[in-house]
């Protein structure tokens, strides 16, 4: 059976693009995913620390414009680039990592047009769970040249008041608004 050139071209294009129908599952790449935490240091400066260990899943239904995100962060992997700050951040004054070793964020993807643009979710930090919305500042999927699988990446961020999560140490010295940012890449399962 002979196909018309336009039909053949359309099939080739569809077979080479990411799935546009159905639900796809992705696993966070721990070597390319780094959640970070930033907060005021007594109102004088802003300290930024990244978490070196995290895991998670993304489920994406492009056609239905829905999806979910789950990220689990090893609280002990916080790294501000300053040993004493790391020790203090792990203490009961802040993350209290011995009692609360995992920070978790899970939520539903929000779309603008065909593109994920935010996450409406819940952050569990320091034993407290509260709603936190994240903005997806950039989002892109490509066929990874090494893995030969689809890889999606995003820059995600949102703000919350750390006092709401029982992290009120030093609150009298400055703002308590904190930022969660996640640079993330996920590989299609």
pLDDT at site 163: 96
> What's the CA gap between 31 and 89, in Å, rounded?
23
**6 part of a folded domain:** no
Average pLDDT over residues 174-188: 95
User: pTM for the whole thing?
Assistant: 0.85
CA distance 75 to 53: 8
In a domain, 1, yes or no: no
Q: What average pLDDT score do residues 167-177 get?
A: 92
71 is a domain residue: yes
What integer pLDDT is reported at residue 122 of this predicted model? Answer: 98
Whole-angstrom distance, CA of residue 97 vs CA of residue 76: 6
Mean pLDDT of 154-159: 97
Q: How many domains are contained in the chain?
A: 1
Specify the 3-state DSSP secondary structure of 40.
Answer: strand
- Residue 89: give the domain boundaries: 24-188
In a domain, 173, yes or no: yes
Q: pLDDT category, 15, cuts 50, 70, 90?
A: very low
* Integer Cα distance of 50 and 89 in angstroms: 12
Q: For residues 42 and 48, what is the distance between their CA atoms, to the nearest angstrom?
A: 14
- Quick one: pLDDT at residue 86? 96
DSSP-derived letter for residue 19 is P
| Residue 5 domain-assigned (yes or no) | no
> Is there a domain that residue 58 lies in?
yes
Residue 64 tokens, joined? 């239905």
**For position 147, which CATH number holds?**
2.40.128.110
pLDDT single digits (tens) 38-73: 999 888 999 999 999 999 999 999 999 999 999 999
């Amino acid at each position: 059976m002979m196909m018309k050139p336009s039909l053949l071209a359309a099939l080739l294009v569809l077979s080479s693009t990411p799935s546009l129908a159905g639900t796809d599952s992705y696993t966070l790449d721990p070597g390319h995913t780094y959640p970070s935490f930033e907060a005021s240091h007594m109102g004088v400066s802003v300290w930024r620390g990244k978490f070196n260990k995290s895991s998670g899943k993304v489920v994406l239904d492009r056609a239905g414009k829905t999806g979910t995100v789950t990220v689990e962060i090893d609280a002990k992997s916080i790294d501000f680039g300053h040993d004493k700050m790391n020790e203090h951040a792990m203490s009961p004054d802040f993350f209290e990592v011995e009692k609360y070793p995992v920070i978790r964020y899970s939520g539903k993807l929000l779309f603008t047009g065909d593109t994920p643009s935010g996450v409406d979710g819940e952050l569990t930090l320091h034993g407290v769970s509260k709603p936190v919305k994240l903005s997806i500042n950039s989002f892109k999927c490509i066929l990874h040249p090494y893995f030969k699988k689809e890889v999606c990446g995003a820059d995600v961020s949102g703000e919350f008041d750390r006092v709401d999560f029982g992290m009120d140490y030093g609150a009298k010295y400055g703002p308590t608004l904190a930022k969660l940012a996640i640079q993330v890449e996920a590989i299609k399962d």
